[in-house]
Amino acid sequence: MTRSKWVGLLVLALATSGFVHAARAQTTVKAPVSKAPVKLSADGELVVRIVSARTLPSGLGPKAVAELKSIAAKLESGDRDGALAAFRGFVKTNAKLLTGDGASRAALWTIRVGLLEPDVALAAAADKVRYAREAEEQTKAAIAALDAATQKAEGSGTAVTVSVVSVVPYAKFQPATKATTSSMTLSELKARNARLRAALKELQDAGAPEEELQLFIKQTVHAGEQVALITLMSKAFHDAAKSVLANIKA
Between the alpha carbon of residue 174 and those of residues 132, 134, 177, the distances in Å are: 12, 11, 9
pLDDT for the residue 1: 58
Confidence check: pLDDT of 242 > 70: yes
Confidence check: pLDDT of 10 > 70: no
Give the whole-angstrom CA distance, residue 250 versus residue 240: 15
Give the whole-angstrom CA distance, residue 207 versus residue 215: 14
- Per-residue pLDDT tens for 88-132? 999 999 999 999 999 999 999 999 999 999 999 999 999 999 999
- The proportion of the chain whose per-residue pLDDT surpasses 90, expressed as a percent, equals 78
pLDDT for the residue 206: 81
Give the whole-angstrom CA distance, residue 108 versus residue 110: 5
Q: CA-based angle 217:176:105, to the nearest 5?
A: 65
pLDDT for the residue 88: 98
- What are the domain boundaries of the chain? 37-127+210-249, 133-205
Confidence check: pLDDT of 54 > 90: yes
- Per-residue pLDDT tens for 194-213? 999 999 999 888 877 999 99
As a whole number, mean pLDDT of residues 19-28 equals 39
* Residues 6 or more apart whose Cβ sits within 8 Å of residue 5: none
Confidence check: pLDDT of 250 > 70: no
* pLDDT bucket at 28, cuts 50 / 70 / 90: very low
Q: Are strands 160-167 and 177-184 parallel, antiparallel or unpaired?
A: antiparallel
Give the dihedral sign, CA 234/236/237/239.
Answer: positive
* pLDDT bucket at 2, cuts 50 / 70 / 90: low
pLDDT for the residue 204: 87
Whole-model pTM: value is 0.81
Longest dimension (CA), the chain: 73
pLDDT for the residue 12: 47
> 63 vs 9, which has greater pLDDT?
63
